[in-house]
């Protein structure tokens, strides 16, 4: 416990210092000076900010979007584009409503682009498509599962004929265009890239200001293309925010939970300097940080905790037996039911995460258990001869392997004979094989080795002769 407490305190202090250092570094690096472009005619073109919004819409992403809007306004950006790929929303509807209100009343035009190809935008937060100034979607992307339309003071969230479809379902690009979901000035086969989104925003007028993001250029062969003229500034989460946002992903939180708990068990049952405890404490802390954000079933977390206790029973004994099997079954059950599903998104960890998690636990406690026990029970081989003949007590049935207590220490043991020795019985050490003691019951045991050793120290052993087939001194 002392090592674990030290590990937790050290971890907390380290994370605090690290977070403080990164935050200070980020604050010092903010530069409100706009990256403007001056055209040959003397016109000034302000930059366009692009924020990458990826993963479940949690408090961290919501706060980052609000900060991005403020940064765009402070730095003189002419627009902000949110590049979105989100499988669901894990914040309260009131938080989403506040975010929608901020987007609807933003001092700079807001564009929402669901991309690149294969991206998703599910959950109530996807209703920002109704309040953003310009919206677009890449081919192969999908939007939907909006839920019940939310309400904000400054705008009406209305998707028209698409509302019923989007409430409990999703649509791809062709269906979205047919339902007239998007707000954009171009009519093409989707918005495949950020450059296409800039083109879609070109010419948009907000408060008397017309956005200038691209220009039409005639090539030498007579074709036309659109070149980006505004400087595009990409931004994403800071290091610390990205860390806590990443651990709020189902497979990451799940793997961190198993890894952390397994390492803590390892720390409790092995001899070491606490490295496993420190790493396990960090993993467990991060896992619970993610689980607190996600729709987690508490009873499933308890089941996984009970699985670790079951593994600990056999680790205490040193042999994978019944309780190891119980632990594996409980791990599978807890894994399968760990998360509540979200509309449109299965929260169960993928097959890779499942195989990695359950397989890793199985290898750790079935294959790696002998190594745990070896480090727990091992002492230097040289100088242990004194134990031969010593008496001890059986801690766990030696049948044929078990655990005994000799000399105020616990040891792996096996029977010197076929007869098992039960818990609580007294035994005598007959031999030592590596780090395993060979023991025998006192009743019917061989001659006391200590007495034999003591007799040899005091006198020469008697000479035995054979008389009529019998041994005699």
Over residues 438-455, mean pLDDT: 59
Using the predicted structure, report yes or no on whether residue 348 has a pLDDT greater than 70: yes
On whether residue 10 sits in a domain, the answer given is no
Can you say whether the dihedral through the CA atoms of 303, 305, 308, 312 is positive or negative?
negative
| Secondary structure (DSSP) of 164-207 | HHHHH-EE-HHHHHHTT----S--SS---SHHHHHHHHTT-EET
On whether residue 120 sits in a domain, the answer given is yes
Residues 310 and 444 both lie in one domain:
no
On whether residue 469 sits in a domain, the answer given is no
Amino acid 245: pLDDT: 93
- Minimal CA–CA distance to 247: which of 296, 280, 289? 289
Residue 89: DSSP 8-state: B
On whether residue 296 sits in a domain, the answer given is yes
The span from the CA of 282 to the CA of 341, in Å, is 27
Using the predicted structure, report yes or no on whether residue 26 has a pLDDT greater than 50: no
The tokens describing 326, both together, are 């119980």
Amino acid 151: pLDDT: 92
Residues 56 and 81 both lie in one domain:
yes
Residues 130 and 165 both lie in one domain:
yes
Residues 274 and 301 both lie in one domain:
yes
229 vs 383: which has the higher pLDDT:
229
On whether residue 466 sits in a domain, the answer given is no
Our count of domains for the chain comes to 3
Flag the least confident range among 13-17, 83-87, 124-128.
13-17
What CATH number does residue 233 fall under? 3.90.226.10
Last residue of a domain, one of 195, 211, 237: 237
What is the extent of the structural domain holding 435?
382-458
Q: Which residue has the tokens 């495949």?
A: 192
Residue 370 exposure: Cα atoms within 13 Å on the Cβ side = 4
Residues 290 and 392 both lie in one domain:
no
Using the predicted structure, report yes or no on whether residue 31 has a pLDDT greater than 70: no
Last residue of a domain, one of 330, 355, 375: 375
pLDDT band at 369 (very low <50, low <70, confident <90, very high): low
Helix (H, G, I), strand (E, B) or coil at 297: coil
99 vs 13: which has the higher pLDDT:
99
The tokens describing 420, both together, are 């098992």
Last residue of a domain, one of 359, 375, 391: 375
pLDDT band at 11 (very low <50, low <70, confident <90, very high): very low
What CATH number does residue 430 fall under? 2.40.50.140
Please give the share of the chain, as a percent, with pLDDT higher than 70.
77
Amino acid 38: pLDDT: 54
Burial tier of 264 (Cβ tally within 10 Å: 0-12, 13-18, 19+): buried
Residues 422 and 361 both lie in one domain:
no
- The predicted model scores a pTM of 0.70
Residues 232 and 258 both lie in one domain:
no
Over residues 391-420, mean pLDDT: 82
User: What is the number of residues in the chain?
Assistant: 473
Using the predicted structure, report yes or no on whether residue 236 has a pLDDT greater than 50: yes
On whether residue 163 sits in a domain, the answer given is yes
Residues 74 and 165 both lie in one domain:
yes
What's the whole-number average pLDDT of the chain? Answer: 79
CB atoms within 10 A of CB 317: 20
On whether residue 472 sits in a domain, the answer given is no
pLDDT band at 191 (very low <50, low <70, confident <90, very high): confident
Amino acid 6: pLDDT: 40
Residues 182 and 294 both lie in one domain:
no
Amino acid 433: pLDDT: 76
Residues 256 and 365 both lie in one domain:
yes
On whether residue 16 sits in a domain, the answer given is no
304 vs 352: which has the higher pLDDT:
304
Residues 327 and 273 both lie in one domain:
yes
Residues 401 and 356 both lie in one domain:
no
């Amino acid at each position: 416990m002392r090592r674990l407490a030290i590990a937790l305190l050290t971890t907390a202090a380290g994370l605090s210092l690290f977070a403080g250092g990164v935050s200070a570094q980020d604050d010092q690096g903010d530069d409100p000076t706009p990256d403007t472009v001056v055209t040959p005619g003397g016109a000034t073109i302000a930059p366009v900010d692009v924020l990458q919004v990826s993963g479940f819409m949690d408090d961290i992403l919501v706060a980052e979007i609000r900060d991005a809007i403020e940064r765009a306004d402070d730095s003189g950006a002419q627009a902000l584009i949110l590049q979105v790929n989100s499988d669901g929303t894990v914040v309260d509807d009131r938080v989403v409503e506040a975010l929608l209100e901020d987007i609807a009343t933003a001092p700079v035009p807001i564009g929402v682009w669901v991309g690149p190809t294969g991206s998703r935008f599910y959950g109530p937060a996807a209703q920002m498509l109704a309040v953003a100034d310009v919206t677009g979607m890449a081919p192969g992307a999908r939007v939907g599962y909006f839920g019940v339309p939310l309400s904000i003071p400054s705008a009406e969230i209305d998707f028209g004929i698409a509302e019923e479809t989007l409430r409990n379902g999703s649509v791809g690009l062709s269906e979205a265009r047919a339902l007239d979901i998007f707000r954009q000035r171009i009519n093409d086969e989707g918005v495949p890239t950020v450059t296409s989104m800039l083109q879609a925003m070109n010419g948009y007028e907000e408060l008397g200001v017309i956005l200038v993001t691209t220009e039409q250029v005639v090539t030498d062969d007579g074709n036309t293309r659109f070149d980006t003229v505004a400087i595009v500034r990409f931004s994403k989460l800071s290091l610390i925010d990205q860390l806590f946002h990443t651990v709020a992903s189902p497979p990451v939180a799940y793997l961190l939970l198993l890894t952390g708990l397994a390492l803590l068990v390892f720390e409790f049952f092995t001899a070491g300097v606490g490295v496993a405890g420190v790493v396990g404490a960090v993993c467990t802390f991060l896992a619970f940080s993610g689980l607190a954000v996600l729709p987690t079933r508490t009873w499933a977390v308890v089941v996984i905790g009970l699985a670790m206790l079951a593994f600990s029973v056999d680790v205490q004994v040193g042999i994978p037996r019944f309780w190891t099997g119980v632990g594996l079954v409980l791990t599978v059950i807890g894994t399968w039911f760990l998360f509540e599903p979200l509309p449109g998104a299965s929260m169960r960890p993928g097959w890779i995460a499942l195989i990695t998690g359950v397989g890793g636990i199985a290898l750790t406690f079935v294959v790696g258990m002998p190594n745990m026990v070896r480090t727990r029970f091992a002492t230097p081989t040289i100088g242990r001869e004194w134990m031969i003949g010593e008496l001890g007590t059986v801690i766990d049935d030696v049948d044929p392997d078990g655990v005994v207590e000799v000399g105020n220490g616990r040891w792996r043991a096996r029977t010197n004979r076929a007869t098992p020795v039960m818990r609580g019985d007294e035994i005598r050490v007959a031999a030592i094989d590596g780090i395993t003691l060979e023991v025998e019951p006192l009743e019917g045991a061989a001659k006391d080795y200590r007495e034999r050793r003591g007799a040899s120290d005091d006198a020469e052993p008697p000479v035995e002769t054979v008389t009529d087939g019998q041994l005699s001194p």
